Amino acid sequence: VLRLIEIGEIVWSVMKFRLSGACVVVVAAIMIYGVARPKGSPDLSQLQIDRAQERQLVLRNGFAIRNASLTHRVTQDEIPFVAGPEQLPQTLAATLPPIEGFWISTDSTNGIAAVAILRSDADSFVEVWGACQPTDCHWPPRPLRVVEPSTELGQAGQLKATLDGPVERSAIFRHDGQALLVEVAARYRDDSGRKDNHITERFTRPFAPTSNAGLPTLPPVGSVVRDKYQREFGERVPIPAIFNDERSVDCSRNGHLTTTAYIRRPGNRSTLLEMYLSHDGTVVTAKRVSTVITPAGTFKTLVVIVRYGATVSADGIELFEKAQKQINEDHAAFARGRGYAAPLVVFENTNIVVPREAIGDPRRLTDVRAAAASRGVSPTGYQLVIAIDPDPAHFAGGLSTPPNGDVYVGNFGHWTSELAQPEWTAMARVAYHHEVAHQWGWDHDWSPSCGETKLGFEPFMAAPVLLGWEDIDGDGLPEIVDDTPYGVRR
């Protein structure tokens, strides 16, 4: 009744001031709207639509409504608006679109390693990581638009993104049950001679989507880092692994917070998420996605020692085997110190000595593998192949080509005489603790240092927490062998 009285007063005011016929039409429209609008329905000119509701409007209509304005529009057939939270089915209003989040390829040999579909205010965008070595190739974030809306409640339909440049790519993303299908058409304009191609790949969510409800309480920095995973990768990591030691700086006194998350895949592979942030966690300075060897298990390792008369004595291989035993003891001691039942890492070594003249180029790992095969030892079946090359005439450091398992260690000590036990131990530590760690995804900048700064995790090169070797979610298992790592749900 009060509503009708208010409308009557409006009409009386219009008549009193003798408004034009056009104004009367407007007033009549207001009257009709006021009477016909269902009780309790929102006034879109005043309604503030939150992000969850707005997300559903985008998926149903192809564009978002924020305060009764269109912020993003794509060309498509008209679809009835869905307006007002009380007019949304509860299951739709409360459920995030399943297409959003971090997705990994179901086949580690595919051309695309991972996809993140993210939201920023009213817009959706996608980031793609191509399968490259040693780290996956990052395609710049691109906006997504709806090209075919879904007829299913809560589904996103088909989304499209395009990437321009020397290689033009057009990608379609669509949900298929619990999987994400990605179709990519590539057109090469980079004079590489590559033929245009079209691929379709399938992706899966590594963990079950989680909401804010029930997340563990973390210190302020941990909570900020957790939010950054959601923002940067579309993946919620409830209890992130963090290394944040302010003593860890390079020679220019620059340091940062490092966080990693391993997502284990079939075989001995993992998808590794990495971020560098300011020490308070508020600023992301770098992020990366890589396909790496999982840093856990028994590693069948073939070692080819290149023999030089000046540096490799008759008992050289025995001295190196003692050094290898110490490497395994380092991992066993770490496990005992943490109360683990067994070491997380064990190297099962097969060692052969090859004369220098029997190998083409020790720095070329294909030549190393061929030399081993010529000695009757096939590299097939070994996860790691290590070349130890104490060349007295050519000094070199180390090389690791992840994730194919090839490692090279040169004469970094500039040795010109027979190596004794300390030198063989140094060679073994560089091979296993340094170069193999690169196969696991370790980067020098995880924990930068200058000179001989000790950070407390020696003899390892990286903080064990970043390799998943610590139990940070309190379930009794280190994260790298935990089926629910970092407190997530499968």
Looking at the structure, do residues 377 and 360 belong to the same domain, yes or no?
A: yes
211 band by pLDDT with thresholds 50, 70 and 90: low
CATH for 150: 2.40.128
**Digit-coded pLDDT (tens) for 422-450:** 999 999 999 999 999 999 999 999 999 88
Residue owning tokens 């992020």: 287
Query: What is the reported pLDDT for 243?
Result: 98
Query: What residues form DSSP beta bridges with 264?
Result: 270
Q: Does 115 or 32 have the greater pLDDT score?
A: 115
Residue 410 domain-assigned (yes or no): yes
347 has pLDDT over 90: yes
Most confident of 74-88, 174-188, 321-335: 321-335
- Percentage of the chain surpassing pLDDT 70? 76
Q: Which of 171, 204, 237 is the last residue of a domain?
A: 204
Looking at the structure, do residues 186 and 274 belong to the same domain, yes or no?
A: no
Residue 466 domain-assigned (yes or no): yes
- Percentage of the chain surpassing pLDDT 90? 51
* Distance (Å, whole) CA 449 – CA 254: 9
Q: Does 303 or 1 have the greater pLDDT score?
A: 303
Q: Does 140 or 475 have the greater pLDDT score?
A: 475
Query: How many of the other CB atoms lie within 10 Å of CB of 158?
Result: 18
The answer to which of 54-58, 122-126, 197-201, 315-319 has the lowest mean pLDDT is 54-58
156 has pLDDT over 70: no
Residue 18 domain-assigned (yes or no): yes
* Distance (Å, whole) CA 60 – CA 58: 6
Looking at the structure, do residues 305 and 259 belong to the same domain, yes or no?
A: no
56 has pLDDT over 50: no
CA angle in degrees (0–180, nearest 5) for 153-158-161? 140
DSSP code for 487: G
Whether omega before 295 lies within 30 degrees of 0, making that bond cis, reads: no
* Distance (Å, whole) CA 137 – CA 272: 13
**Digit-coded pLDDT (tens) for 216-241:** 899 999 999 999 999 999 888 999 99
Looking at the structure, do residues 231 and 331 belong to the same domain, yes or no?
A: no
Q: What 3-state DSSP class applies to 479?
A: helix
123 band by pLDDT with thresholds 50, 70 and 90: confident
Binning the chain into helix, strand and coil, the percentages to the nearest 5 are 25, 30, 45
Query: What is the reported pLDDT for 81?
Result: 29
Q: Is 64 left (phi over 0), alpha (psi -120 to 50) or beta?
A: beta
142 band by pLDDT with thresholds 50, 70 and 90: confident
55 has pLDDT over 70: no
304 by Cβ neighbours in 10 Å (0-12 / 13-18 / 19+) ranks as: buried
Looking at the structure, do residues 394 and 318 belong to the same domain, yes or no?
A: yes
Most confident of 32-46, 72-86, 184-198: 184-198
The parent domain of residue 316 ranges over 297-439
Looking at the structure, do residues 246 and 347 belong to the same domain, yes or no?
A: no
145 has pLDDT over 90: no
Query: What is the reported pLDDT for 164?
Result: 77
Average per-residue pLDDT for the chain? 80
42 has pLDDT over 90: no
Q: Is the dihedral of CA 16, 19, 21, 22 positive or negative?
A: negative
Mean pLDDT of 112-120: 86
129 has pLDDT over 60: yes
325 has pLDDT over 60: yes
Looking at the structure, do residues 428 and 465 belong to the same domain, yes or no?
A: no
Mean pLDDT of 377-382: 95
Query: How many of the other CB atoms lie within 10 Å of CB of 43?
Result: 10
Q: Does 137 or 274 have the greater pLDDT score?
A: 274
Are residues 272 and 290 in contact, defined by beta-carbon separation less than 8 angstroms?
yes
268 has pLDDT over 60: yes
Query: What is the reported pLDDT for 451?
Result: 77
* Distance (Å, whole) CA 98 – CA 205: 10
Query: What is the reported pLDDT for 147?
Result: 77
Q: Which of 154, 177, 204 is the last residue of a domain?
A: 204
Looking at the structure, do residues 241 and 174 belong to the same domain, yes or no?
A: no
Domains identified in the chain, total number: 4
Looking at the structure, do residues 314 and 429 belong to the same domain, yes or no?
A: yes
198 band by pLDDT with thresholds 50, 70 and 90: confident
Q: Does 84 or 281 have the greater pLDDT score?
A: 281
471 band by pLDDT with thresholds 50, 70 and 90: very high
Looking at the structure, do residues 402 and 313 belong to the same domain, yes or no?
A: yes
Mean pLDDT of 184-202: 85
4 has pLDDT over 90: no
The answer to which of 107-111, 258-262, 336-340 has the lowest mean pLDDT is 107-111
212 has pLDDT over 80: no
Looking at the structure, do residues 330 and 409 belong to the same domain, yes or no?
A: yes
CA 4 from centroid of its chain's CA atoms = 59
The predicted model scores a pTM of 0.75
Residues 6+ positions from 366 with CB-CB distance below 8 Å = none
Q: Please report, to the nearest 10 degrees, the dihedral formed by the alpha carbons of residues 106, 109, 111, 116 taken in order.
A: 40
Looking at the structure, do residues 351 and 402 belong to the same domain, yes or no?
A: yes
Query: What is the reported pLDDT for 109?
Result: 60
Query: What residues form DSSP beta bridges with 287?
Result: 275
DSSP string, 423-467: HHHHHHHIIIIIIHHHHTT--GGGS---SS---S-TTSSS-GGGG
Token pair in block for residue 250: 């390079």
DSSP code for 196: P
Q: Does 133 or 369 have the greater pLDDT score?
A: 369
Query: What is the reported pLDDT for 82?
Result: 31
Mean pLDDT of 108-118: 80
**Digit-coded pLDDT (tens) for 282-312:** 999 999 999 999 999 999 999 999 999 999 9
